[in-house]
Chain A
Amino acid sequence: MSLTLLIASLAAILALSGLVSLLQLGGNRIGDVADAARIAEEQIAGFRSGPVLMSGDGEAALVEGTDGRIVILKRHGAHCAGRVLARPLRAHRCDKEWRIETGDPRFGHVALALEKQDEDKLLTMM
């Protein structure tokens, strides 16, 4: 691999990335409760969704399964990534959001902006 090719490849990567950004692609959100329930089932094999706590910004959701497992979803690009959480849930209030700890440092915590009634449901889940 020559230095010229390396530089040309880097330039092509930057040019493509710049173009993709200019086109304002991406930016999908979790649409609603049904959307979150379906995504949880798609992401975690064998998971059957029950009650859903939706973050108001469409960035995340907490889904309780019919088997008692809890799945946290966060938006990752145009899709969602999920983790099955261990009980008891580790969550704490941080300003106007709830921070859900996933126990996976690379996945990070997930912020949920919840309605008042959903906050109460979260407390019962914990």
Chain B
Amino acid sequence: MVPDLPNPTELAIPAFVLLILIEIAWVRSRNAKAYEPRDTLTSLALGLGSTISGALFGGLALLLAFQVYDHRLFDIGFVWWAWPIAFLFDDLAYYWSHRLAHRVRWMWAAHVIHHSSQHYNLSTALRQTWTGFLTPGLLIGLPLFWLGFHPVMIAFCGGLNLIYQFWIHTEAVKRMPRWFEAVMNTPSHHRVHHAINPRYLDSNYAGVFIIWDKMFGTFVSERDDVPIHYGIVKQLGSFNLVWAAFHEWIGIARDLWSAPGIGNKLGYLLRSPGWSHDGSRETSDSIKAEWAARQAGVAEAPGASAAPFGPATLTPAE
């Protein structure tokens, strides 16, 4: 018997709005210039677009999930002990899907929208993909259905996972208690994930549990002496919704058209963002390597990284 479960994300919307209001009040009390109304409007509108996209195309994902579930190994059903296991496994699948979304340009094209803001606040959390259904990211979670976890259970767990990730998109929380930081994804860990500082690039892919990053070698902790700059390596410089949602897809289409040979064309699709067949562009790996080489040559002077853009950046709350 399949329980009649609500959509947890939809139920959480009033709490999202309330927390955004509280955060705005917090920012206003510290530095009103640091909050950009147009950026917030862009994030919220992109979030609405993502919800519409999910409603239109989410059925395809569910259809695929049920196809795999029909060939399941075990009949797990909705027994109580399956819920925490499903949540944990779904979070593990999220980690790998998210990691690939940063390492494979095809998947990055759908995910970049979430990183396209130079601001980092709760509204940024709602800046979600419109085109995820065009990528193979969904395939990462299919083994869960094959094992026997019901698609409705996984969808519910996925909703809870998304809700958890909302509150970590803030500078209002500096650090959680040590035990919490050790196990859970937190605002501090996720700020690092959104950073464009070479030191922080391509790290902390976790959804709920930061343990995955620690297990798979992608964890980087936030340093108080290295202020974070948010966004993407090549900032959009635009609040245009459509451009934010599709710019990387357009870039891929251009590269597929102009690249010589099938191998190079596949490279523009399957290799990391920034890869180019003539080596003329920068990838996160090349940026990190150059940064590491510079660090090896010159010891970083204390205070060398001053606060970004004068008074417009907030220091995470004490």
Chain A residues proximal to chain B, CB less than 8 Å: 1, 5-6, 8-10, 12-13, 16-17, 19-21, 23-28, 30-31, 35, 38-39, 42-43, 45-46, 74, 76-83, 106-108
Please determine whether B33 and A78 come into contact, CB atoms closer than 8 angstroms.
yes
A-B contacts counted at CB < 8 A amount to 136
Question: Roughly how many angstroms separate A30 CA and B198 CA in the complex, as a whole number?
Answer: 23
Please determine whether B238 and A17 come into contact, CB atoms closer than 8 angstroms.
no
Please determine whether A20 and B24 come into contact, CB atoms closer than 8 angstroms.
yes
B140 at the interface (CB under 8 A from A): no
A18 nearest CB across to chain B (Å)? 9
Are A43 and B235 also in contact (CB < 8 A) when A1-B54, A13-B45, A23-B28 are? yes
B162 nearest CB across to chain A (Å)? 15
B264 at the interface (CB under 8 A from A): no
Chain A residues near B290 (CB-CB < 8 A): 45-46
Please determine whether A79 and B52 come into contact, CB atoms closer than 8 angstroms.
no
Chain B residues near A79 (CB-CB < 8 A): 36, 118-119, 231, 308-309, 312
Please determine whether A77 and B119 come into contact, CB atoms closer than 8 angstroms.
yes
Contact of A77 among B24, B38, B55 (CB under 8 A): B38
Question: Roughly how many angstroms separate A35 CA and B55 CA in the complex, as a whole number?
Answer: 45
Are A78 and B44 also in contact (CB < 8 A) when A6-B52, A20-B37, A25-B32 are? no
Closest to B35 in A: A25
Please determine whether B10 and A28 come into contact, CB atoms closer than 8 angstroms.
no
Please determine whether A38 and B312 come into contact, CB atoms closer than 8 angstroms.
no
Question: Roughly how many angstroms separate A5 CA and B47 CA in the complex, as a whole number?
Answer: 13
Chain B residues near A25 (CB-CB < 8 A): 24, 27-28, 32-37
Q: B32, B41, B54, B235 — which one has the most chain A CB atoms within 10 A of its CB?
A: B235
Q: A30, A42, A45, A82 — which one has the most chain B CB atoms within 10 A of its CB?
A: A45
Chain A residues near B291 (CB-CB < 8 A): 45-46
Interface code B77-111, partner A: CB below 8 Å = 1, 0 otherwise? 00000000000000000000000000000000000
Please determine whether A9 and B51 come into contact, CB atoms closer than 8 angstroms.
yes
